[in-house]
Amino acid sequence: LYFSAQDGILLFYHIRDLQYEIKVCADISQPISSLMFSPDFASLLLVTDQGPVYSYKPAHSGEAVKLLDTCSSCFLAADFLTPGNKYCVSVTVAGEVQVWFLEDGTCLSKLNLDIEVHI
């Protein structure tokens, strides 16, 4: 079970029977608003309240890597586009929907909905 609180620390709870172990996976020092696994469970997207989107690869147990950042408005949500995990789609609070190439953070396409978005 992966979990994050408002402190920006990604935690892994390994639960077996009635025992559990907690492991700190990454500290991005920003509140994490949502976590989303890729379809193959190889990557985890960490969407922050302050704008950036990070990637964490559980199999590599390394640090979270900043993939995307926004200057005009904070990301509200992001998710992988299937099949695969090379692309993701995001939406900002200002209503901008964007498609990203995750290997280098290139914005491939965007559409402005001309409305403020809420979850």
Alpha-carbon span 38 to 44, nearest angstrom? 6
48-90 per-position pLDDT tens digit: 877 788 888 888 777 888 877 765 567 788 888 888 788 888 8
pTM strictly above 0.85 = no
pLDDT band for position 103 (cuts 50, 70, 90): confident
**Intra-chain end-to-end CA distance of the chain, in Å:** 23
Pairing of strands 87-92, 9-16: unpaired
CATH number of 2-112: 2.130.10.10
Q: Where are the domains of the chain?
A: 2-112
